[in-house]
């Protein structure tokens, strides 16, 4: 939801938005790398097939090849001085600089379920992630957030399990 | 007048007490998420997908339609009262609406937005009622080559129109295409891009991608740039609703906005951003009070809001008649159909008329409900804005987690959630459009099936892809979409 439709052309002028890194080469390289992963994945796939003319590998090749070409185009744009303005969102503007601590805390909240969902169950995972996200958004009441998270996680577990969702055990480490 | 009879049958379905309850639930939910930041209709429907699998499809789609329309109504409330457009289509409303509210005319702005939404929604639903069967009839004659060309047209237009840069639009699209091929190939049984991970054999579900991009990516992004207390809520106490003059200045913009929004919403990559912007520009040109634009002109709220709602109804035309989603919300609705083993398109009109017509009839009912829910009860919705942001975003993550974990209970889905969530964060920081990822993900496999079917029938001859007049025209338009901006740029540079 950017409100600057003019950035489609490489620009060198200054705008009012905070600029991301002036030359984010890594962005283009990441796109190329993703394309290469797709192309690598086609090595075992047939490109052609007897009836359809095309095999299971063709679309993967198109996706990978497309990403490699677009990554190169992005690098060319970056070399020419393409500007990237962070998008505006509700409660945040692209003008703000990123707060690494808040971002890191929110990231931990998102990564945490990978390790806790199976052993600790949904309610406890929800409680911990809830508290971490609230902390990332500058909440100063961690104990209260733990309670909110636990109540929300438990209520959601009971409700959605009754509605037929398979959410695992309530407290798997306790055996139920 | 067959449509009329079918519509009456649809009403008999939609007016059943249970379905009315689902419509009301959808409308309430839709308005709430329209008002709340960080959560939109596409994400809400995606989160509801696993829950509604035990609900009859007609009831579920009636609720989804309520969410879709409700979000359009709710979005205008935040645009006007706190100058933060909840949806892309409410951006223009915020321009004039918030100025009106600051000048003590917030109630009038809310009223013209809600009544305009109602008028546009109702007219657009009437157009949908009569256009959809007609287009579905034509779609019966579509061959695989036509479908393939149509999808290619949708790809190019989505990537070119959405966002600020064509290259970034196409990168988003190709990311989606790449995600779409993950899993077992249905025609040959070959595992693609799974790299031996068994959890990926079934592919990456649209819900996982959508929730990760829209909820996780958004939470990471807003957390990193959070500004507490952005925008104060303007109170409406003692303000007058619309005056006679306001009505006079609003009704034409409502109709013009509808005329712009409906057809543009129905086009591939139509969305709601362009028609609302066009409506705003048009009203500014036509208004006798153009000097008021930028300071709170009511036409600048009436037109874009009508265009926004009409575009939402327009979006349903290609989805229901051709099975072609043109926005993120339409993509997730298509996924909902597929969850029920249904494929929207011409055959759905004959095989499942009670679903299609019940859904269309519910749009009329939903519009009335939303007008009642939004105008007199606006004070209640505004209270939602008082939910503290830390707990609100934390709650959104919990629901996102449940939505993903509830799909299959596999840790791999949570790993994909983190990975794609980080991609969503980077896309926001570097201004990549997000909808093309979803369009690529859901339409990529469809394009592949149509391409293979077309080529198989022609023994591999690629010329079959442009062998029908329709496919040739659509492929030409797709190429023009790509080339015209370059040509215009050259011409401008030479001028």
Query: Which pLDDT value is given to residue A32?
Result: 97
Torsion of CA B257, B260, B261, B266, to 10 degrees: 160
Check whether residue A55 and residue A106 sit in a common domain: no
* Integer Cα distance of B61 and A4 in angstroms: 35
Q: Which of A79, A109, A143 is the last residue of a domain?
A: A79
pLDDT tens figures, B363-400: 999 999 999 888 888 888 888 888 888 999 999 999 99
A31, part of any domain: yes
Residue A107: its chain B contacts at CB < 8 A? 220, 422
B21: closest CA among B54, B53, B66?
A: B66
B297: closest CA among B310, B308, B287?
A: B287
* Integer Cα distance of B71 and B370 in angstroms: 10
Q: Which residues pair with A85 in a beta bridge?
A: A19
* Integer Cα distance of B46 and B336 in angstroms: 8
Distance from CA of B131 to the nearest CA of A (A): 30
User: A46 and B397: CB-CB below 8 Å?
Assistant: no
The pLDDT averaged over each successive group of 10 residues in chain B (495 residues) is 84 92 94 85 87 85 92 85 72 85 87 92 92 87 90 86 83 95 88 89 90 93 82 68 88 94 81 84 87 87 92 91 87 89 87 90 92 84 85 93 90 95 94 89 90 86 88 92 81 78
Residue A136: its chain B contacts at CB < 8 A? 223, 226, 390
Residue in B38, B161, B181, B190 to test binding to A, most A beta-carbons within 10 Å: B181
Q: What are phi and psi of B345, to 5 degrees?
A: 150, -175
Residue A145: its chain B contacts at CB < 8 A? 390-391, 394
Q: Is the dihedral of CA B300, B305, B310, B314 positive or negative?
A: positive
* Integer Cα distance of B341 and B347 in angstroms: 13
Q: Which two three-digit tokens encode residue A162?
A: 């009754």
Report the number of distinct structural domains present in chain A. 2
3-class DSSP assignment, residue B183? strand
B220: closest CA among B475, B444, B417?
A: B417
Q: Which two three-digit tokens encode residue A126?
A: 């929800």
Residue that has been written with the tokens 């992630």 in this structure: A129
Partner residue facing A56 (CB), from B185, B216, B461: B185
User: A103 and B220: CB-CB below 8 Å?
Assistant: yes
Residue B50: its chain A contacts at CB < 8 A? 165
- Residues A133-162, mean pLDDT to the nearest whole number: 94
- Chain B residues 179-218 with a CB less than 8 Å from chain A: 180-181, 185, 187-188, 190, 192-193, 195, 216, 218
Strands B183-184 and B191-192: antiparallel
User: A90 and B163: CB-CB below 8 Å?
Assistant: no
User: A63 and B170: CB-CB below 8 Å?
Assistant: no
Residue in B159, B390, B456 to test binding to A, most A beta-carbons within 10 Å: B390
Check whether residue A63 and residue A104 sit in a common domain: no
Q: Which two three-digit tokens encode residue B250?
A: 């609003």
Q: What are phi and psi of B39, to 5 degrees?
A: -145, 125
Check whether residue A105 and residue A164 sit in a common domain: yes
Check whether residue A75 and residue A105 sit in a common domain: no
- Chain B residues 409-468 with a CB less than 8 Å from chain A: 409, 411, 414-415, 417-418, 421-422, 425-426, 428-431, 444, 447-448, 451-453, 455-456, 459-462
Q: Is the distance from CB of B445 to CB of B328 less than 8 angstroms?
A: no
Query: Which pLDDT value is given to residue A163?
Result: 79
User: A135 and B390: CB-CB below 8 Å?
Assistant: yes
A115, part of any domain: yes
Q: At what angle do helices B217-224 and B411-429 cross, to 10 degrees?
A: 50
B217: closest CA among A107, A53, A4?
A: A107
Check whether residue A166 and residue A131 sit in a common domain: yes
A84, part of any domain: no
- Among chain B residues, the shortest Cα distance to A123 is held by B398
Query: Which pLDDT value is given to residue B259?
Result: 94
pLDDT tens figures, A25-79: 999 999 999 999 999 988 877 776 665 567 888 899 999 999 999 999 999 999 9
A18, part of any domain: no
Residue A99: its chain B contacts at CB < 8 A? 223-226
Gyration radius of chain B over CA positions: 22
Query: Which pLDDT value is given to residue B86?
Result: 61
Residue B492: its chain A contacts at CB < 8 A? none
A8, part of any domain: no
* Integer Cα distance of A138 and A148 in angstroms: 16
Residue A73 belongs to what H/E stretch? helix A57-79
A6, part of any domain: no
Q: Is the dihedral of CA A152, A157, A160, A165 positive or negative?
A: positive
B84 CB near a chain A CB, below 8 Å? yes
Query: Which pLDDT value is given to residue B261?
Result: 92
Check whether residue A74 and residue A121 sit in a common domain: no
A85: closest CA among B436, B423, B222, B432?
A: B432
Average pLDDT, chain A: 84
Check whether residue A118 and residue A168 sit in a common domain: yes
- Among chain A residues, the shortest Cα distance to B274 is held by A5
The Cα angle at residue B490 between residues B489 and B495, in degrees rounded to 5: 100
Partner residue facing A38 (CB), from B190, B193, B222: B193
A154, part of any domain: yes
**What is the domain extent for residue A162?**
100-174
Residue that has been written with the tokens 């597929």 in this structure: B338
């Amino acid at each position: 939801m950017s409100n600057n439709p003019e950035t489609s052309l490489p620009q060198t002028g200054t705008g009012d938005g905070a600029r991301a890194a002036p030359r984010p080469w890594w962005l283009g390289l990441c796109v190329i790398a993703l394309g290469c992963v797709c192309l690598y994945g086609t090595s075992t796939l047939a490109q052609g097939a007897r009836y359809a003319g095309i095999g299971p590998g063709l679309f993967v090749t198109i996706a990978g090849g497309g990403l490699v070409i677009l990554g190169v185009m992005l690098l060319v744009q970056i070399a020419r001085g393409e500007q990237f303005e962070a998008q505006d969102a509700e409660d945040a503007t692209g003008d703000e600089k990123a707060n690494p601590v808040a971002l890191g805390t929110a990231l931990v909240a998102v990564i945490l379920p990978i390790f806790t969902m199976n052993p600790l169950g949904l309610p406890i995972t929800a409680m911990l992630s809830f508290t971490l996200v609230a902390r990332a958004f500058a909440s100063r009441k961690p104990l209260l957030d733990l309670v909110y998270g636990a109540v929300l996680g438990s209520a959601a577990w009971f409700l959605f399990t009754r509605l037929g969702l398979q959410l695992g055990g309530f407290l798997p480490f306790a055996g139920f | 007048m067959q449509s009329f009879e079918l519509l009456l049958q649809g009403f008999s379905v939609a007016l059943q007490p249970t379905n009315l309850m689902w419509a009301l639930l959808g409308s309430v939910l839709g308005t709430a998420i329209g008002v709340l930041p960080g959560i939109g209709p596409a994400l809400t429907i995606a989160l509801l997908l696993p829950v509604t699998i035990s609900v009859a499809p007609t009831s579920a789609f009636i609720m989804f339609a309520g969410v879709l329309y409700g979000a359009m109504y709710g979005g205008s409330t935040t645009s006007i009262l706190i100058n933060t457009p909840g949806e892309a289509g409410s951006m223009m409303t915020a321009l004039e609406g918030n100025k009106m509210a600051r000048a003590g005319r917030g109630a009038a702005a809310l009223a013209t937005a809600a009544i305009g939404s109602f008028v546009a929604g109702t007219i657009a639903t009437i157009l949908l009622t009569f256009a959809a069967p007609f287009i579905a009839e034509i779609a019966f004659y579509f061959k695989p080559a036509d479908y393939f060309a149509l999808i290619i047209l949708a790809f190019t237009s989505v990537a070119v129109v959405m966002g600020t840069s064509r290259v970034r639009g196409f990168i988003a699209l190709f990311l989606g295409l790449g995600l779409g091929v993950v899993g077992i190939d249905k025609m040959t049984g070959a595992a693609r891009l799974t790299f031996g991970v068994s959890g990926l054999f079934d592919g990456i579900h649209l819900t996982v991608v959508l929730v990760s991009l829209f909820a996780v990516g958004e939470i990471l992004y807003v957390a990193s740039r959070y500004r507490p207390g952005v925008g104060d809520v303007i109170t409406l106490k003692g303000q007058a609703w619309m005056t006679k003059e306001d009505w006079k200045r609003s009704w034409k913009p409502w109709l013009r906005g509808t005329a712009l929004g409906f057809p543009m919403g129905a086009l591939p990559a139509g969305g709601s951003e362009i028609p609302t912007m066009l409506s705003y520009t048009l009203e500014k040109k036509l208004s006798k009070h153009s000097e008021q634009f930028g300071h709170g002109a009511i036409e600048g709220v009436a037109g874009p809001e009508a265009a926004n709602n009409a575009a939402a109804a327009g979006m349903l035309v290609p989805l229901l008649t051709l099975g072609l989603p043109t926005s993120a919300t339409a993509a997730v609705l298509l996924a909902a159909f597929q969850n029920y083993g249904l494929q929207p398109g011409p055959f759905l009109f004959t095989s499942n008329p009670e679903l299609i017509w019940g859904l269309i009839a519910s749009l009329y009912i939903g519009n009335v409900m939303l007008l009642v829910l939004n105008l007199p009860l606006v004070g209640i919705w505004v209270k939602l804005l008082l939910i503290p942001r830390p707990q609100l975003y934390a709650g959104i993550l919990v629901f996102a987690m449940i939505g993903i974990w509830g799909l299959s209970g596999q840790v791999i889905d949570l790993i994909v959630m983190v990975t794609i969530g980080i991609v969503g964060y980077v896309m926001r920081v570097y201004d990549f459009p997000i909808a093309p990822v979803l369009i690529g993900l859901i339409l990529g496999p469809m394009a592949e099936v149509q391409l293979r079917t077309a080529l198989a029938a022609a023994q591999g001859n690629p010329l079959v892809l442009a062998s029908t007049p329709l496919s040739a025209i659509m492929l030409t338009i797709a190429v023009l979409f790509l080339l015209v901006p370059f040509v215009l740029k050259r011409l401008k540079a030479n001028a």
